[in-house]
Structure 1
Amino acid sequence: MEKQLIRNIMKSYDYPLIISVWMLAIFGLIMVYSSSMVSAVTRFGVPSDYFYEKQKLWLIASVAFFLLSAIIPYKILLRKKVVKVIFVISPLMLIAVDFIGHTANNATSWFRFGFFSVQPAELVKLGLIVYLAAAFANKQRRMEQSIKGQLFPIYYTLGICFLIAIQPDFGTAMIVLLIASCIILSSGLKFRLLFKQVLFFGIIALACAPFTLPFIWDKIFSKERISRIYGFLDPFKYSDDAGFQLVNSYLAIGLGGLKGVGLGKSIQKYGYLPESHTDFIMAIIAEELGLFGVAFVLLLLAFIVLRGLYIARKCDDAFGSLLAIGISSMIGIHTFINIGGVTGLIPITGVPLPLVSYGGSALVLFMTSLGVLVNISMFTKYEAKYKHVHKEKIIKKQSEKGLTF
């Protein structure tokens, strides 16, 4: 009986999704080495495989997190104790990073542990997805709650976004807000109620603007952010400064053409794209592997997002469905913003490409989240296909032993 149960569970796993995730992660590791080998030596003064070795360690850790989250039933995350811990720990981490965090790129967004750095805002993304999915899971209970009870998760989300924004990390804060919006809009919350709250906060923001803007103006409209806008609007005019990376991203994409110049043979990674292994890794992929390489990455990412939305639609459990929507939207939003920055569709925000860009915190976040998605898919498929079979077997055994009445 137990062997048959295990066999049925193994059959229920979403292997196309698992293979897609692992293919993308391994491909990302290869491209991290290819895109960082030059800058590691010339810019950072470390061995050519420095970033590759670090990313490899993070990938091994991420695979462990992926397997754990794919095996452990996702409904454990719905337990009150788990939700309470996430609810408390998430803002505490974001507050703590302001006092004991490490500053990089003018933002205090990191905890540093020896050679490794962890960005709490990345971990908070998954925590917020779990909290919002749990908060909006029970529709009947939510409808019976007061308006204040229905809207509290939205207030909590705004508080999390504020704590991330003051680091300052407006790009991540905006991503968190977009992910939360996808979950909230899918939760069944009345649009009229949501619109009233947006209008209410908009009026408050306008009323407070004359008093708050003098204090936060320099953070919001810093020289670096203004230069990014200039570089986005007219990159060739500011090609020596703000538009430098975007212009060279265009050159990399243009040089790649259909087939690319060959793996490891990029020219733009020789100092022309300073963030070649992080934010602009797609430009190096386009240059070295051409349109085929870009299509490979985008098709896999699109498959993961669409598969996640399909899982959300098939899942009868509200918590699992909202969780799948949150994880899928996170992958989709990250992909859009990264590709948008690389191609000049939107201003550069420093967002990594899921599973491909260098970065340990982001890789752990994505792999753990996708492990949860695989787990949701497994339970959905198992309950639809095998649950009634096991139930019939149990009833049959009970009737044979005379246990039924």
Structure 2
Amino acid sequence: MKSYLKRYARNFDYPLFFTYLLLCCFGLVMVYSASMVWAVNQLGGSPDFFYKKQITNLCIGAVAFVVGAFIPYKIYKENNVIVSMLGVMFALLLAVYFFGFSPGDSGAKSWLNLGFASLQPSEFVKIIIILYFSAVFAKKYEKGKLDNINESIIPPIVVLFAASFLIFLEPDLGTLVIIFFIAVSVIAASGIKFKTFGKILGVLGACMVIALIGIFFIRDRFFTEKRMGRINAYFNPFEDEQFFGYQVVNGYLAIGAGGIKGLGLGQSVQKMGYLPEPQTDFILAIIAEELGTFGVAIVLFGLGYIVIRALVISLRTKDPMARMIAAGIASMIGFQTFINVGGLTGIIPLTGVPLPFISYGGTSLILLSLAMGILINVSMFVKRESKGGNGNGN
């Protein structure tokens, strides 16, 4: 055991770990700063209400990180583990369909009330899709059947669309887009031939067209007033700045007020009731207002480092499963960051996607921590692989 811990410590990816830790701690400070007024005025609680809950989330996330880091990633390739992961995923998604609720006025019935806490099952789908796709394609790669569409592609695509359909029914379109992007990224990193990959993209594209046709026939139910309002607010938020464009406009005001230096930590004006729930999806606007360009740079550089580091790990390893897991985690964090920042800055419509490691929220933070633990485990394997280790995943 002692020699194992020494070997583990020797191959541990400390820069990646400390970047993750820095982002979590920075996010904790900003959650407190952003949420204190909202907690008092809207919930009638203490100023540190969300701060304390986020500490609990971080503690659970730390356990998830340790589990992900210490369990060899190759265990996720075992059939019983694959079946268990898929069972949990579909059980949670079906539970949301029958018993889910929509917090506030989000419009998406994507949460489960556990009594002591709320759970967002679609966050589990992200990491499970990464592990499941990586395991399936790694097995087919090892058997030389990766480019056989009937044997290697159809089963995971069926699983992907089944999960996507249940998420679509919630509907949680932001998470749905991220999951599709993750799946495509993992497949692209599998070593599949470009011609076969093109066929897969064609199949996915055809399915998307069919889905759009289906949406057309139920457009009156799908394009609700709120969704149309968000779309219109994307094109011109100032036309309806008191209603659908309200959050976007106040986000712009926060960013503009911060400038380069910021107003100072805790000095945000927009969090004084102007920006709804600033500790969640729009926390970067508060960071920009209080800490200016410097604060935003800390977040984006930290997230950028994790994404780039994951891609480097993916490129360095010879193990197909390690390569796909690292690429999948990189795409998950990178694309989720893009959707959050893009919605905040008006590049894309708002989707309600949290900023990784920074926004308030338990399910997202815990699952991201688990993903970071798994990435650390893969990174340690790559280091041992480069030194001529035994390749057992640690």
Residue of structure 1 in register with 2:83 after alignment: 84
CA 1:144 to 1:129, structure 2 compared with 1: closer, same or farther past 3 Å?
closer
Matched, 1:147 2:146: no
CA contact (8 A) 1:239 1:247 kept: yes
Residue of structure 1 in register with 2:359 after alignment: 357
Matched, 1:137 2:110: no
CA 1:86 to 1:385, structure 2 compared with 1: closer, same or farther past 3 Å?
same
Residue 150 (structure 1) shift: 2.0
For the residue of structure 2 that corresponds to 1:109, the secondary structure is coil
CA 1:77 to 1:239, structure 2 compared with 1: closer, same or farther past 3 Å?
same
CA distance in 1, matches of 2:108, 2:183: 23
- Partner AA of 1:97 in structure 2: V
Matched, 1:177 2:180: yes
CA contact (8 A) 2:130 2:329 kept: yes
CA distance in 2, matches of 1:305, 1:212: 34
For the residue of structure 1 that corresponds to 2:265, the secondary structure is coil
Matched, 1:336 2:338: yes
CA contact (8 A) 1:9 1:382 kept: no
Residue of structure 1 in register with 2:169 after alignment: 166
Residue of structure 1 in register with 2:348 after alignment: 346
Moved more, 94-103 or 164-173: 94-103
For the residue of structure 2 that corresponds to 1:387, the secondary structure is coil
Aligned residues: 386
Residue of structure 2 in register with 1:118 after alignment: 119
Residue 154 (structure 1) shift: 1.9
Residue of structure 2 in register with 1:397 after alignment: none
For the residue of structure 2 that corresponds to 1:236, the secondary structure is helix
CA 1:262 to 1:191, structure 2 compared with 1: closer, same or farther past 3 Å?
same
Residue 179 (structure 1) shift: 0.9
For the residue of structure 1 that corresponds to 2:102, the secondary structure is strand
CA distance in 2, matches of 1:251, 1:212: 35
CA distance in 1, matches of 2:211, 2:66: 48
CA contact (8 A) 2:147 2:193 kept: no
Residue 351 (structure 1) shift: 0.4
CA distance in 1, matches of 2:310, 2:207: 37
CA 1:234 to 1:142, structure 2 compared with 1: closer, same or farther past 3 Å?
farther
Residue of structure 2 in register with 1:57 after alignment: 56
Residue 204 (structure 1) shift: 6.5
1:366-387 deviations in Å (ceiling 9; x for gaps): 0000000001111211232263
- Provide runs of 4+ in structure 1 moved above 6 Å: 207-212
Structure 1: runs of 5+ lacking an equivalent: 389-405
Residue of structure 2 in register with 1:39 after alignment: 38
CA contact (8 A) 1:228 1:348 kept: yes
- Partner AA of 2:112 in structure 1: F
Residue of structure 2 in register with 1:391 after alignment: none
Taking only aligned residues, the RMSD between alpha carbons, in angstroms, comes to 2.0
CA 1:374 to 1:201, structure 2 compared with 1: closer, same or farther past 3 Å?
closer
For the residue of structure 2 that corresponds to 1:237, the secondary structure is helix
- Partner AA of 1:34 in structure 2: S
- Partner AA of 1:77 in structure 2: Y
1:129-157 deviations in Å (ceiling 9; x for gaps): 10000011131425277532222212221
TM-score (norm 2): 0.92
Instruction: Name which of 288, 291, 297 aligns with 2:290.
Output: 288
Moved more, 349-358 or 102-111: 102-111
TM-score (norm 1): 0.90
Identity %: 44
CA 1:220 to 1:189, structure 2 compared with 1: closer, same or farther past 3 Å?
farther
Residue of structure 1 in register with 2:227 after alignment: 225
Residue 208 (structure 1) shift: 7.9
CA contact (8 A) 2:167 2:176 kept: yes
1:142-191 deviations in Å (ceiling 9; x for gaps): 52775322222122212211110111111111111111111112223344
- Partner AA of 1:117 in structure 2: S
Residue of structure 1 in register with 2:308 after alignment: 306
For the residue of structure 2 that corresponds to 1:136, the secondary structure is helix
CA distance in 2, matches of 1:291, 1:379: 37
Residue 202 (structure 1) shift: 5.0
1:80-113 deviations in Å (ceiling 9; x for gaps): 1101111232122211211122232222211112
CA 1:269 to 1:330, structure 2 compared with 1: closer, same or farther past 3 Å?
same
- Partner AA of 1:96 in structure 2: A
CA contact (8 A) 1:110 1:118 kept: yes
CA distance in 2, matches of 1:321, 1:331: 16
CA distance in 2, matches of 1:199, 1:38: 49
CA contact (8 A) 2:189 2:323 kept: no
- Partner AA of 2:182 in structure 1: I
Residue of structure 2 in register with 1:372 after alignment: 374
- Partner AA of 2:72 in structure 1: P
- Partner AA of 2:94 in structure 1: I
Structure 2: runs of 5+ lacking an equivalent: none
CA distance in 2, matches of 1:156, 1:263: 46
For the residue of structure 1 that corresponds to 2:237, the secondary structure is coil
- Partner AA of 1:46 in structure 2: G
- Partner AA of 1:99 in structure 2: F
CA 1:259 to 1:158, structure 2 compared with 1: closer, same or farther past 3 Å?
same
